[in-house]
């Protein structure tokens, strides 16, 4: 009789587990968290270049999308670095 009771209890537990899987629905708070996690993962996937439907080369090779502030800053840095090198060379020659 004990074995039959154990079997019945296991059957009930299995039914409960199956029922929970079908009936589980995230709370509003869980939905918000799941949505944020999904968006974060998709954003990172895009940044990592893993979006197979997006043509990254169109963006990478398009100068219209370049950050002009950054381009100008890089040009200034290069100019001043070259000027610094010239000054150092002149100082070495006069020493």
> For residue 65, what pLDDT band results from cuts at 50, 70 and 90?
confident
- Please name the residues in contact with 65: beta carbons below 8 A apart, sequence gap of 6 or more: 59
Torsional sign, CA 30, 32, 37, 41: positive
pLDDT at 64 (0 to 100): 83
CA gap 26, 94 in Å, rounded: 77
* Percent of the chain with pLDDT strictly greater than 90: 42
What predicted TM-score, i.e. pTM, was given to this entire model? 0.44
Collapse the DSSP code of 45 into the 3-class scheme (helix H, G, I; strand E, B; otherwise coil) and give the result: helix
Q: First-to-last CA distance in the chain?
A: 106
Q: What count of residues does the chain have?
A: 95
Q: HSE-up of 16 (CA within 13 Å, CB side)?
A: 6
> For residue 83, what pLDDT band results from cuts at 50, 70 and 90?
confident
19: left (phi over 0), alpha (psi -120 to 50) or beta: alpha
């Amino acid at each position: 009789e004990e074995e039959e009771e154990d079997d019945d209890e296991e059957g009930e537990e299995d039914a409960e587990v199956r029922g929970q899987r079908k009936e589980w629905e995230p709370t509003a708070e869980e939905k918000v968290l799941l949505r944020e996690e999904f968006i974060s993962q998709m954003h990172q996937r895009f940044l990592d270049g893993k979006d197979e439907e997006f043509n990254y080369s169109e963006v990478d090779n398009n100068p219209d999308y370049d950050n002009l502030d950054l381009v100008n800053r890089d040009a200034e840095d290069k100019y001043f670095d070259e000027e610094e090198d010239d000054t150092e060379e002149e100082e070495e020659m006069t020493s």
